[in-house]
Amino acid sequence: MRSPSGRTYQVEIRDLMVRQFSCTCTDFRISGLGTCKHVEAVLLQLARRQRAEFKAAQRVPSARMDIVPTGDALQVERGLGKLPSGLRSRFDATGRLLPDANLEEVVEEISASRSAALRLA
């Protein structure tokens, strides 16, 4: 999304039902709110242009399994219980990568996965 200042930010709507979003702007990163004006603008556009799909996505959780970077580790943002057992064993009950897990090996395993629902965000 291009902002009024001319900067371009990447907005990702990961799950409407539980309101999981991402934006590359500074405000999103530091506010801790999980949203920003760019995310909200995209949501308004989707609600207007794709009304039926938008409403359906608000009622049904995403089937995706997203693994996101958190500092120097990884965190399963959604779908922890759906991960393949070998990969699941590398994360704790909260979805955080175990301290003794090899980060490079885990990233390689995620990349090699054939599951269309699993992605490294």
Q: What is the pLDDT of residues 13-65, one digit of tens each?
A: 999 998 999 999 999 989 989 999 999 999 999 999 999 999 999 999 888 89
* Lowest mean pLDDT across 16-20, 30-34, 106-110, 113-117: 113-117
**Residue 16 φ then ψ, to 5°:** -75, -35
* Predicted TM-score (pTM) above 0.85: no
3-state secondary structure of 97: strand
Strand partners, 94: none
